[in-house]
Structure 1
């Protein structure tokens, strides 16, 4: 079994479990998958986990700022103006090392908008999704190593 097969197998198992459990626990399943995707896209391992979580939550924050501005300021094109300003901020914050995974910020933001501003549910699902990704990766590595060690002892 090669490493990609091992990772694919453990990812399939744990994502299936997430899919089954998340809805029954009242969690947003797709937002969890967004968090899991962020984990892998950020490079995986503990560094990717930190980057994914921090940038996802940053995106949630910026989406809520945008939503609140649009709720309280009633001028023409406020949505477009807010989008432009917040988009700039979400990109430029990448100058800060721990916020330099721009796609993670956009994943958090878009997820918040898609959930109609339910930021608490989105934040929780994104964090759990990051944990899901970490579990998928670490168990895939473990499975590969266990099976590879067995093959080398023959």
Structure 2
């Protein structure tokens, strides 16, 4: 079995589990899938990729709240656009720091916050658990592929 097929199987199963977990906990299932997507698209793999994805997603939540609060504080549309432009600059320039050098992760966190009308208390756990599910999807798929592709002699020797 290819690693792609194995990851597809585990992703399918865990996507269904995530849907149930999200509903059971009152989380945003779509935001969790954004966290999952952020992990899958991360330039790093494993726990480093998960950490990078989570850190940038959370920074995006922060930046979205800055935009929301500063834009509504002044109440003039043009000021909101200027705030958005300045904050978008900072969302990108923060990538000079290794833990924040995944710009798409920052924009994913920000977009999730905007889509949830600024309800960061709901977005944050949804993104976090979604990222963990993304990690589990890939890790379990790799494990499945390696397990199924072991030569028969290795399987007999372990028993």
Structure 1 and Structure 2 fold alike (TM over 0.5): yes
Unaligned runs of 5+ in 2: none
User: 1:91-111 deviations in whole A, cap 9, x for unaligned?
Assistant: 111111110000000000000
3-state SS of paired residue (1:55): helix
Q: Which residue of 1 aligns with 2:110?
A: 109
**Counterpart Cα distance in 1 of 2:132 and 2:77:** 41
Q: Which residue of 2 aligns with 1:98?
A: 99
**Counterpart Cα distance in 2 of 1:67 and 1:76:** 12
User: RMSD of aligned C-alpha atoms?
Assistant: 1.4
Q: Which residue of 1 aligns with 2:83?
A: 82
Q: Which residue of 1 aligns with 2:12?
A: 12
* Count of residue correspondences: 154
- Report how far residue 131 of structure 1 moved: 0.3
- Report how far residue 20 of structure 1 moved: 2.2
- Report how far residue 113 of structure 1 moved: 0.3
3-state SS of paired residue (1:77): helix
Q: Which residue of 2 aligns with 1:48?
A: 49
3-state SS of paired residue (1:52): helix
Point out 4+ residue stretches in structure 1 off by more than 2 angstroms: 150-154
